[in-house]
Amino acid sequence: MLWYKAWLETRWRFTFLIGSILVVWLMLLWLPSLSSVPASRQWVGLQLGSVLLYMFAAIYLAGGGINSQTLYAVTSGFHGSMLFTLSLPVSRRRLLFVRAGLGAILTCSLVVCMAGYILFRRAEPVGALQSLADIARAVVCTMAVYALSVLLACVLDEMWQFMGACLIWFAVFLLGSRFAPVARFSPIRGMSLSSHPHSSATPWAAVITSAAVCVIFTCSSILILRRKEY
28 vs 97: which has the higher pLDDT:
97
The mean pLDDT value for 121-133 works out to 72
pLDDT given for residue 142 in this prediction:
92
User: 92-121 and 128-153 are packed helices; what angle lies between their axes, rounded to 10 degrees?
Assistant: 140
27 vs 36: which has the higher pLDDT:
27
The mean pLDDT value for 14-34 works out to 71
pLDDT exceeds 80 at position 119 = no
- Residue 181 confidence class, pLDDT cut points 50, 70, 90: confident
pLDDT exceeds 90 at position 212 = yes
User: 2-30 and 92-121 are packed helices; what angle lies between their axes, rounded to 10 degrees?
Assistant: 20
pLDDT exceeds 90 at position 146 = yes
The mean pLDDT value for 26-48 works out to 61
pLDDT exceeds 70 at position 70 = no
The mean pLDDT value for 31-46 works out to 58
Provide the whole-model pTM. 0.82
- Residue 72 confidence class, pLDDT cut points 50, 70, 90: very low
Structural domain containing residue 79: 2-227
The mean pLDDT value for 41-48 works out to 65
The mean pLDDT value for 122-146 works out to 82
Number of domains in the chain: 1
- Residue 215 confidence class, pLDDT cut points 50, 70, 90: very high
82 vs 60: which has the higher pLDDT:
60
Averaged pLDDT score across all residues of the chain: 77
